[in-house]
C-alpha cells in the first residue's frame, strides 16, 4: 500500500512549533538576517516567504524596526506566528499565487520554503520573489541544493516529496530575473534533535540594481 505524501500545508500544520525547535537557530540564517538588517533603510518593508512560526526571521527584522509581512501555507504556522511575533503581519498564502501590495519590498527573505514543490514551481517561485524586490532592494534565500525532482523521503517522521535546484541553477535563475548576486555559499547544518539528519544548505544574497 502506497503512503500518501503530504503537501507543504499538511506537513507544517502537523509539525507546528517542533520545526522551530530543530531549525530555529541555523547559524548561517542568523548571519544572513544580520547582513540584511545592516543594509535596509529605516522603516523598510520586508516579506518573509514561508514565515513559519515567525522566528527567527520575522522576529529579528521586526526587532530591528522593519515592517514585516510573513506568508505561509500552513494555518497552524500562521496562528503561531501571530502569537509569537505580534509586531509583524502574517497571512496564510502560497508563494505560487500570492499577490503583494504595489511597490514591492525593500527585502524579501526565503528560508527553505520551496522544497515541497516540483522543479518548475520552484523556478516560477524564484521569478516571482525576484519580481517583488524593489529597485535597490535585496533577496536573501536559503535552501537544500541539488538537481532533484520528485524525490520521496521521510522527513521529521512524515512522508514528503521534495525537489530542488542546483546551486548553478539557482544563480542562473536569479541573474535571469534581473538580480545581481552579491554572495553565495554552502554549509552543513546538524539539526538540534533526532527527527532530522544533517543537511547541506545553500545561502544566496542578491540585490536588484537601482
Nearest CA-CA partner of 58 in 35, 87, 29, 80: 87
Tell me the pLDDT of the chain (210 aa) as tens digits: 445 555 666 665 555 555 556 655 689 999 999 999 999 999 999 999 999 999 999 999 999 999 999 999 999 999 999 999 999 999 999 999 999 989 999 999 999 999 999 999 999 999 999 999 999 999 999 999 999 999 998 877 778 899 999 999 999 999 999 999 999 999 998 877 666 678 999 999 999 999
State residue 2's pLDDT score.
45
Q: By the 8 A CB rule, do 107 and 137 touch?
A: yes
Integer Cα distance of 171 and 133 in angstroms: 16
State residue 1's pLDDT score.
42
What SS3 state is found at 178? coil
3-state SS, 52-108, equals CCCCCHHHHHHHCCCEEEEEECCHHHHHHHHHHCCCCEEEECCCCCCCCCCCCEEEE
Integer Cα distance of 156 and 209 in angstroms: 39
Amino acid at each position: 500500500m502506497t503512503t500518501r505524501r503530504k503537501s507543504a500545508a499538511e506537513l507544517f500544520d502537523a509539525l507546528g512549533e517542533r520545526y522551530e525547535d530543530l531549525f530555529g537557530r541555523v547559524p548561517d540564517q542568523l548571519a544572513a538576517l544580520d547582513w540584511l538588517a545592516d543594509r535596509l533603510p529605516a522603516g523598510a518593508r520586508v516579506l518573509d516567504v514561508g514565515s513559519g512560526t515567525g522566528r527567527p526571521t520575522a522576529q529579528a527584522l521586526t526587532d530591528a524596526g522593519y515592517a514585516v509581512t510573513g506568508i505561509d501555507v500552513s494555518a497552524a504556522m500562521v496562528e503561531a506566528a501571530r502569537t509569537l511575533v505580534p509586531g509583524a503581519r502574517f497571512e496564510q498564502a502560497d508563494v505560487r499565487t500570492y499577490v503583494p501590495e504595489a511597490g514591492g519590498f525593500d527585502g524579501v527573505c526565503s528560508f527553505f520554503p520551496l522544497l515541497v514543490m516540483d522543479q518548475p514551481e520552484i523556478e516560477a517561485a524564484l521569478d516571482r520573489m525576484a519580481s517583488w524586490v524593489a529597485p535597490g532592494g535585496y533577496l536573501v534565500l536559503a535552501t537544500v541544493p541539488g538537481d532533484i525532482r520528485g524525490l520521496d523521503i521521510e522527513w521529521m517522521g512524515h512522508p514528503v516529496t521534495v525537489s530542488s535546484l542546483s546551486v548553478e541553477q539557482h544563480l542562473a535563475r536569479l541573474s535571469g530575473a534581473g538580480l545581481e548576486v552579491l554572495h553565495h555559499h554552502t554549509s552543513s547544518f546538524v539539526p538540534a534533535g533526532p527527527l532530522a539528519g544533517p543537511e547541506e544548505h545553500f545561502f544566496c544574497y542578491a540585490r536588484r540594481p537601482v
